């Protein structure tokens, strides 16, 4: 069976090249055995994302401007792991409520991935959320910055898969999450690991 193997190499030195608001640019001198190399990368807190599916197997996607790629991308609700010691599924539930005004009654771990393993240590866990209902009016989050302009749309899962495979979706959380959800559905949801929010 194929599986990635966590296999850290000794770090001879570590330098913060730039300390940023959300993530840092760092440089590590890594001992590979035969040689030592300098590797610069983005040190990132990580993130969570939510594939929210309604009873008709439609997935919620949000349009959000992403400045580094100068594009408005269709993405699932998602956010940084920026609350210390917060469980991942709790972070996902918080993001679903904040970005989509939704609460889910059922949660599963869908997929984990590194966004850019050659240049960042960012890791994202994607959850599947079902049994959706609106948040209470008193619990609605006030969205700011790029989040203020997000437009929600419900897309049939099969149409979202077509959009991912045809190159119309580019967000890694959308592409990975949508394809993972479709793969899980094709296996009767038997591969999913339930979690409690």
All structural domains of the chain, each given as residue ranges with its CATH number in brackets, are 11-43 (no CATH), 47-188 (3.90.79.10)
pLDDT-derived band at 88, boundaries 50, 70, 90: very high
Give the tens place of pLDDT for each residue, 121-136: 999 999 999 999 998 8
Q: How confident is the model at residue 62 (pLDDT cuts 50, 70, 90)?
A: very high
- Output 197 or 114, whichever has higher pLDDT: 114
- Segment 175-186 shows an average pLDDT of 98
Asked whether residue 144 carries a pLDDT value surpassing 70, the answer given is no
Among candidate residues 6, 15, 146, 147, the one labeled active-site is 147
Report, as an integer, the average pLDDT of 151-158: 96
Active site residue 147: yes
What's the pLDDT band for 192 if we cut at 50, 70, 90?
very high
Cα(39)–Cα(59) distance, integer angstroms: 38
Q: What percent of the chain has pLDDT over 70?
A: 94
pLDDT of residue 167: 97
Rounded to an integer, the average pLDDT of 140-164 is 84
pTM: 0.91
Give the rounded percent of residues in the chain with a pLDDT score beyond 90.
86
| Beta-bridge partner residues of 151 | 63
């Amino acid at each position: 069976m194929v599986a990635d193997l966590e296999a850290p190499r000794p770090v001879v030195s570590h330098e913060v090249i730039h300390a940023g608001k959300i993530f840092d640019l760092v440089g590590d001198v890594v001992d590979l055995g035969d040689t030592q190399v300098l590797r610069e990368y983005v040190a990132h807190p990580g993130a969570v994302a939510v594939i929210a599916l309604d009873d008709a197997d439609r997935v919620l996607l949000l349009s959000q401007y992403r400045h580094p790629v100068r594009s408005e991308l269709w993405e699932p609700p998602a956010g940084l792991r920026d609350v210390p010691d917060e469980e991942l599924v709790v972070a996902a539930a918080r993001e679903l409520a904040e970005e989509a005004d939704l609460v889910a009654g059922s949660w599963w771990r869908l997929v984990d991935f590194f966004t850019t393993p050659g240049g960042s240590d960012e890791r994202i866990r994607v959850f599947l959320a079902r049994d959706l209902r609106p948040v209470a009016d008193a619990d609605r989050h006030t969205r700011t910055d790029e989040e203020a302009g997000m437009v929600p749309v419900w897309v049939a899962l099969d149409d979202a898969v077509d959009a991912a495979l045809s190159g119309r979706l580019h967000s890694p959380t959308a592409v990975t999450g949508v394809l993972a959800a479709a793969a899980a559905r094709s296996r009767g949801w038997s591969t999913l690991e339930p979690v409690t929010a």
